[in-house]
Amino acid sequence: MNKLSSVIVAAIASAVLSGCGIYSFSGTSIQPDVHSITVNPIENRAMKVNPSLSNTLTNELQDQYRRLTKLEMTSEDGDLEVSGYITSYSVTPTAVTSTDVAAQNRLTITVKIEFKNNKHEEDNFEKDFVAFADYDSTQSLDSVESALCDQIVKTLVEDIFNATVANW
């Protein structure tokens, strides 16, 4: 009898969750009338420019939406639109030794994102996203830049994705 009631409760919970229309087990909360997304190229307006960062960030964002949503990727006029630009790409010392030498450096990337939900304008926002990675100062930026950028882009993409379609 206890198993039967557990099965009934699970079935009711499943029906309620699937019936609300905006919940999915991928963690997104996209309204049922939203079917497409446009991810515009993320421009690089930072003073210091990493030539591949703009394309990498744009491609990773597009891939994230393709992987984790059922939204159709369109080149323009999507129900959802993501656009933005890199505002800062900087290296700063984070840990200084007793001899006033940096022991660690931090690469920080800031991106301003404008999100438009053309079906539900109350979801629109413009926001800065910041991510960073630290590295040992005995290493040159050139030797670690690619790996650091990959790590930072992954964090930025997750943060932007969560802010736009996961409502986290």
Instruction: Read off the CATH number of the domain in which 83 is found.
Output: 3.30.160.150
Residue 27, pLDDT score: 56
Domain containing residue 108: 30-166
pTM, two decimals, is 0.81
Q: Mind listing the pLDDT tens digit for each residue in 114-156? A: 999 999 999 999 999 999 999 998 899 999 999 999 999 999 9
Backbone phi, then psi, for 49, in 5-degree steps? -115, 130
Residue 72, pLDDT score: 96
For the chain, what is the domain count?
A: 1
4 domain-assigned = no
38 domain-assigned = yes
- Strands (E) located in 2-146: 36-39, 43-44, 72-73, 80-96, 102-117, 125-136
In contact, 166 and 27? CB cutoff 8 Å: yes
